[in-house]
Amino acid sequence: MNAVQENLNQTIKMEDLADDVENDSKQRKAFFLKTFSFLSPLFLLLLWEALAALKLIDVRLFSSPSRIFETFVPLVASGELLYHTLISTSRIISGFIVGAVPGVILGLSMGLFPPVRALLMPLVAVTFPIPKLAIMPLILIVFGLGESSKIFTIAIGVFYLVLINTMAGVLNIDPIYIDVAKSFSASKIQFYTTVAFPGALPMIFAGLKLGMGTALLLIVAAELSAARAGVGWMIWRAYDMFDIERMFCALIVLAFLGYIFSYLLDIIEKIVIPWKNYQ
Amino acid sequence: MDREIIRIENLTKIFRSRNKEVVALKDLNLSVKEGEFLVIVGPSGCGKSTLLRILAGLEKKTYGEIYIKSKIENRPITAVVFQGDAVFPWMKVIENVEYSLKLRGVPSEERKKIAQFYLKLMGLENFADYYPHQLSGGMKQRVNVARAFASDPEILLMDEPFGALDEQNRLILQQELLKIWEGSGKTAIFITHSIDEAIFLGDRIVVMTAQPGRVKAAFDVGFERPREMLSLKSTPQFIELYRKVWEVLKEEVLKSRK
């Protein structure tokens, strides 16, 4: 009896132990993983710095983290970097809106109305594959050297991606939802507002995210020609002056902008589509 | 009770595609009484879903006549409980249930009240503000049933609503469906593969032929309500009826396999 009880106690203890071990190892694993993802960029920077210090890479071409940092601080302090960042940001946002709003509207109408789709689809299909950079000279001729040519370059890249995704979003709505609306005799307008639009929202957001990626790509190209400010302009200017450190500073800003914009879109998506399963 | 609410005469549905014609229903005749729970069984592809979709106005008949003697105004004649996952994922549970009322312009207060009543009947009162992705399959199907009842139709059309559920959930939902239906006095047309389900739920079972679909036989079920699955299943009458239905159905299933 005593022996049995002892055994039992032993068993319980063993179980507790097993639990603890499991929890411990899980936590430790999570901690290691986090540390890893934090350490890997740090390691790369250190390696870069070390290679530069040992003169294994040419600092005139590749620079080094400390040199970039030395350039970065005064650029921030003088407000110059912020100035260029704000100019580029306002171009990106304007271009994004000018492209995305008609993209959503046309995409919805092309998804909902077969005649509109029949009318516009050939035009979209023919013009979509044209590289947006290839029409930049044309845009410059039409819109001149001012802000509007830069905004339009970004807008046109965003427009197609949002248009095509929105249309696909409407066309891919599960037919059963259409049946439900029909079986309850929803009017056309009720169908658009209660089924077609909300059903297409996830795809619309996929298009917006892709469009944002393209906008960042195009800002650099748009600021190549006839710009006097902006992060993209900074890069081209640094290229002309062979100022590698400045170039890296601008690249850092672009990476940061890309991160911020995608983060903002994620937040907006979670507010607009609270019903989506984000797991 | 004996008043006829639906009469279908020589209903025929032909699906035409470019170089093929499929006769889904051919000269189908059927009469449904007011307040009746009619269950339709038949081999796969016999056109039972097509029949239901025509009654729901989702599909046009090719020819034949359908008379629905409705005495109600400004309420829908039919509402459908669909087979699959038909709950709108972008609406909360309660918004799904009040959907048809909103379409009809019922004021918000009133439609909340109605929706809450049916949510409670289906045991979902604590899930009103959940989104469907947070619910299990069985709970989603409850929302589906509640949505159809909340629209307060004269005739309920159900297309294998529990077909995708596991056995335990299906038993519970069948029982709950009977409870909510018995209190409503509505006419119900229910499609299923399961003879068990047909006998348990129905006042009358109609067996359809293999494609093209037609009514082959009808059986009165005659068990008293309220019913309880377990005690019903152990009676000799249940087994006898099961056998009769299966014999007729088997012929058609074998035919449809050719």
pLDDT tens for each residue of A68-106: 999 999 999 999 999 999 999 999 999 999 999 999 999
Percent of chain A scoring above 70 in pLDDT? 91
Q: Does B137 lie at the interface with A, CB-CB under 8 angstroms?
A: no
- Would you say residue A44 has pLDDT above 70? yes
Residue A53: its pLDDT value, please? 92
CATH of B22-71+154-258, one of 3.40.50.300, 3.50.50.60, 3.40.50.720, 3.30.920.30: 3.40.50.300
pLDDT of residue A14: 55
Least Cα separation, residue A68 to chain B (angstroms) = 48
Q: Closest chain A residue to B144 measured between Cα atoms?
A: A180
Q: Which residue in A179, A185, A275 is closest to B89 by CB distance?
A: A275
- Based on the number of CB atoms within 10 Å of its own CB, is A174 exposed (0-12), middle (13-18) or buried (19 or more)? middle
Say yes or no for a CB contact (<8 Å) between A179 and B86.
yes
Amino acid A31: pLDDT: 87
A189 touches chain B (CB under 8 A): no
Q: What is the pLDDT of residue A32?
A: 86
pLDDT at residue A92, as a whole number: 96
Contacts of A276 in chain B (CB under 8 A): 89, 133
Closest-CA residue of chain B to A174: B86
pLDDT higher than threshold 80 for residue A15: no
User: What confidence tens digit (pLDDT) does each residue in A129-181 have?
Assistant: 999 889 988 999 999 888 999 999 999 999 999 999 999 999 999 999 999 99
**Residue A21's pLDDT is what?**
62
Measured between beta carbons, the chain B residues lying within 8 angstroms of A277 are: 133
- For residue B173, how many other CB atoms are within 10 A of its CB? 20
Give the residue-averaged pLDDT of A210-238: 91
Task: Report domain extents, chain B.
Answer: 22-71+154-258, 86-153
Res A237 pLDDT > 90: yes
Asked whether residue A1 carries a pLDDT value surpassing 50, the answer given is: no
Q: Who among B89, B91, B151 is closest to A184 (CB)?
A: B151
A207 contacts A103 by C-beta, under 8 angstroms: yes
**For B81, nearest residue in chain A (alpha carbons):** A180
Q: How far does A192 lie from chain B, in Å, by closest CA? A: 12
In DSSP notation, chain A reads -HHHHHHHHHHHHHHHHHHHHHHHHHHHHHHHHHHHHHHHHHHHHHHHHHHHHTTSS-HHHH--HHHHHHHHHHHHHTTHHHHHHHHHHHHHHHHHHHHHHHHHHHHHHHHH-HHHHHHHHHHHHHHTTS-GGGGHHHHHHHH-SSHHHHHHHHHHHHHHHHHHHHHHHHHTS-HHHHHHHHHTT--HHHHIIIIIHHHHHHHHHHHHHHHHHHHHHHHHHHTTSS-SSSHHHHHHHHHHHT-HHHHHHHHHHHHHHHHHHHHHHHHHHHHH-TTS---
Lateral strand order in the sheet of B155-159? B78-81, B155-159, B187-191, B37-41, B204-208, B215-220
Does B183 contact A at CB distance below 8 Å? no
- The model's pLDDT over A255-267, given as tens digits with 9 standing for 90+, comes to 999 999 999 999 9
Domain A65-272: CATH class, spelled out: mainly alpha
B86 contacts in chain A (CB < 8 Å):
176-177, 179-180
pLDDT for res A109: 95
Lowest mean pLDDT among A9-13, A111-115, A195-199: A9-13
pLDDT tens-digit profile, chain B (258 residues) = 478 899 999 999 999 988 889 999 999 999 999 999 999 999 988 889 999 999 999 999 999 999 988 776 777 889 999 987 899 999 999 999 999 999 999 999 999 999 999 999 999 999 999 999 999 999 999 999 999 999 999 999 999 999 888 989 899 999 999 999 998 889 999 999 999 999 999 999 999 999 888 999 999 998 998 898 888 989 999 999 999 999 999 999 998 776
Give the mean model confidence (pLDDT) for residues A229-241: 93
CA distance A170 to chain B (A): 14
Alpha helix ranges (H) inside chain B: 48-55, 93-97, 99-103, 108-121, 137-150, 167-182, 195-201, 229-233, 236-257
